[in-house]
Amino acid sequence: MKARSLLVLAVLLVTALAFSLNIIYLVGDGMSFNQLLLASILEGRVLTTMTLPYTGITTTYSADSWVTDSAPAGSALFGGYKTLNRAIGVLPNGTPMPSMFEIAKRAGYNIGLAVTCRVTHATPAAMYGHVPSRDDEVTLAKQLADSGVVDVIFGGGWDMFVPTAQGGRRTDGLSLIEQMRKNGYEYITTIEQLKAVQSSKVVGLFAKGHLDPVSNRPAAQPTLDVMTQKALEILSKEGKPFMLMVEGSQIDWEAHANDFYGVWKETVEFDNAVRVALEFAAKDGNTLVVVLGDHETGGLSLSKGGYTINVELARKAKGTTAMFLAQYSISDKAKFIAGLREWYGISITDAEYEMMTKIPSNNLRRELARFVSEKVGFGWTTFDHTAAPVPVYAFGPGAHLFTGLMDNTDVPKILLRLTGLSTITFPVAAVSRN
């Protein structure tokens, strides 16, 4: 009788898991409405992201500022609570809190991440990490290796996992790659290995640091849609429910640089990953896709006045200003001016050139990017984040719940409720915003 009861319980557990909702959670770092619309305008088409049937708006403030950074934004999106700028996976008082991915892992889910930054960077780290400062990536790497929360790990940043003697950043002598291998992970570093890998636990680190920007990424590094496709293949093959987090990490960095071309191309790469997710979800029928930004970066405006944007000129741009400055020196006036005309179709006056020569070299890229943007009609208010709300789009079972105005902390609460995993009381942090 006891054996029969145990068998019934096992069957019920397997059945419950088989019908549990899969979640594909795609985060465009620094992406709000205008970043999406800029890419849509320059592509001359409606982006896949913009076709999802349900749309909402989320606020993004942190516990100590109206303007969040990615660490508390990730903690809010994955944990359902507010925390301090720069903090990951902890309350303002330092108390660690579980993310929805940690909760799901304990319930039997497979978990994956695919990003174009280091896998220990703020957003992916909020899936598994608990530190008062996002800068402590060496600790975050150890937390990722020790926890076993994430089964499929695709991105960059192998330097955080190996000791300095092997070219890494670890001063404790640990080789976390070897530790993860012993714990059953397959370690891969090339796109050929990515295409071939079949292991259910895999860590793929395709660069020492972040992956290169998509505008000039070498063929040896995968694009986000390729990593997303492989992650879905691996996570779904056993028939267990899964959660996958995909981040368009570098939309944010190009917006920090006020580079319209970079934002365009990074947003399109992210949108390609959304397309892969939607195709999977449409075929599967039991997968919810949620797409959103974690905050807005740059204060992007889609005109500098005059009721116009020079779209055709913008479309002819040949690359980011980082790529431009790798080929043209500000010290060679004639070639610099000719280069601007060739790459962006814009002219520069003697006075504007002289102003450029006085800019410190570490700020030249972003100041040039803002200058180029304004010439074609795009404006920026800051090189930092803003408090602007961001969109949330949804497709699949429960997608209708992601409409109207909500806070970023509401998103994981809805997801946990839909998956039946909501067994915790969400903390309400004391908020003191500047």
Q: Annotated active-site positions, please?
A: 70
CA 244-246-247 angle, 5° bins:
155
Integer Cα distance of 57 and 402 in angstroms: 8
Structure tokens at 50: 């913009």
Alpha-carbon span 347 to 349, nearest angstrom: 7
Q: How many residues does the chain have?
A: 434
Q: 395 - beta bridge partners?
A: 289
One-letter amino acid identity for 237?
K
Reduced to 3 states (helix: H, G, I; strand: E, B; else coil), residue 430 is coil
- With b meaning 16 or more CB within 10 Å and e meaning fewer, what string describes 311-327? eeebeebebbbbbbbee
Residue 28 is given by DSSP the state E
What does DSSP say about strands 296-297 and 404-407: parallel, antiparallel, or unpaired?
Answer: unpaired
Tokens representing residue 206 in the block: 């395709």
* Angle at the Cα of 62 from the Cα atoms of 61 and 65, rounded to 5 degrees: 80
> What one-letter code names the amino acid at 430?
A
Q: Is 248 helix (H, G, I), strand (E, B) or coil?
A: strand
What CA–CA distance (Å, rounded) separates 152 from 230? 9
**Burial group, residue 430, by CB count within 10 angstroms (0-12, 13-18, 19+):** exposed
Q: How many CB atoms lie within 10 A of CB 120?
A: 28
Amino acid at 244: L
DSSP 272-283: HHHHHHHHHHHH
Using only C-alpha atoms, what is the Rg of the chain?
22
**Cβ distance 37 to 260 under 8 Å?**
no
